[in-house]
Chain A
């Protein structure tokens, strides 16, 4: 069997071809190293080098437009699978100087037009519960049981449908020290709840009493505890972990 790719050549030919190839190879290595240096020394956009941030924002567009579907729901479990001891991660925005008795949920429909809603009013809406695998961006997950009012039911009850035509929903803690922005399509997913119960009991203080967000299509960083204000916007609302270098979307 004679291979048609065989050639009889001089040693000089071999030497020249070797030198040319390795010179190009070396140039490529140098170009690669320079590209890496360039990439890691670019000005930052919210703690991430700009070119990387641009791709992450592109990922968000890709996944919201082509992959995300509100009918893709998080797997649910029977409440008996729920962990009795629920992990607490993070207390940003949960300062001691919080007056529980004065709390009312503020929903900013437009600047100067704010609804104030009490916990009792929220509890009078149809109650929904969910047991799902809560996923932290750190990489752990825990099956937990929560109950409250479906965000989409809340929107209907308070006539927020036209506000929900905007692209983003923002949430803040009462002291505004923790804040998240969520794309409206994700927050309207049927499993999202404004949550006031955990494991069948009122939400503990360290889990965000009186009201927190549970949004199974996002990492835990978006499940804001102790909601003070909800507002709507076409630009990305400020987001605590986004500013610290995480992905804005954080969708699962």
Chain B
């Protein structure tokens, strides 16, 4: 006999797995659009550390000369991204799930301990509920990044009709830079997320598909919040 705990509600699993391909399509079509005026880089003066994007990158992903195609996908799938995000945020609020995701007073301090733990510098993590402090901060940030992408996107899509929004974001060209930066941040989040999911293992991944997680063999019947942080247990709820 084993003890399982319901981890991710069905709604959240749907929102998550719909968002994944939709966001991927938004980023891909965004790259097709960005290529037509690919002026951003990291560097100073005449020194360029990283050009967005190197020709090899554009070539590898077949990006050049597809602006019209990029726009047509972007301005269709934006609706799915918007409605899925809206429903997700609505669900967080009405279900009370937000209490498990939003950072609390201790999160900032604890997230540092989580990072040290993940880097194998510190033994043991602070006690956690569904998400640890670093996850709370990352997942909340990603929700705000999504909102940011929608707002900066709207400002560059309809800069005259949403003139005030565009001005608040620093004008048309700044809004485009912000929209681009958020996309880079999404991509970085994605990389870290995938690494963490791989490290967290099967039990955690199954949680996002099947909804439940095996907490312990029946001999350890203590609820997982009360298990001392350093206790080695198979299938321990280290999530990401």
Contact = CB atoms under 8 A, between A and B. Distances in A.
Interface string A1-42: 111011111110010011011100100100010000000000
Contact of B223 (A6, A8, A47, A136): A6
A197 to B, nearest CB: 23
A48 B215 CA distance: 50
B197 to A, nearest CB: 15
Interface string A200-226: 000000000000000011000000000
Given A245-B69, A247-B75, A14 B160 contact: no
Interface in B27-60: 33-34, 36-37, 39
A137 B161 contact: no
A246 B39 CA distance: 22
Contacts of A6: 3-6, 215, 223
Contact of B76 (A55, A68, A69, A251): A55
B209 A252 contact: no
Interface stretch (A72-80, A153-161, A165-173): A72-80
B158 A63 contact: yes
Interface stretch (A107-115, A138-146, A174-182): A138-146
Range class of the A interface residue count: 35 or more
Q: 7 tightest A-B contacts by CB?
A: A139-B37, A245-B68, A21-B210, A5-B6, A138-B36, A55-B76, A252-B160
Interface of B: 1-6, 17, 21, 33-34, 36-37, 39, 67-69, 71-73, 75-76, 79, 158-161, 163, 167, 172-173, 176, 206, 209-212, 214-215, 218, 223, 225-226
Interface of A: 1-3, 5-11, 14, 17-18, 20-22, 25, 28, 32, 47-49, 51-53, 55-56, 59, 63, 67-69, 72-75, 133, 135-141, 216-217, 241, 244-247, 251-252
18 contacts: A6-B3, A8-B1, A8-B218, A9-B4, A11-B2, A14-B212, A20-B210, A21-B206, A21-B211, A52-B72, A52-B76, A56-B72, A56-B75, A63-B158, A72-B163, A73-B160, A217-B160, A252-B161
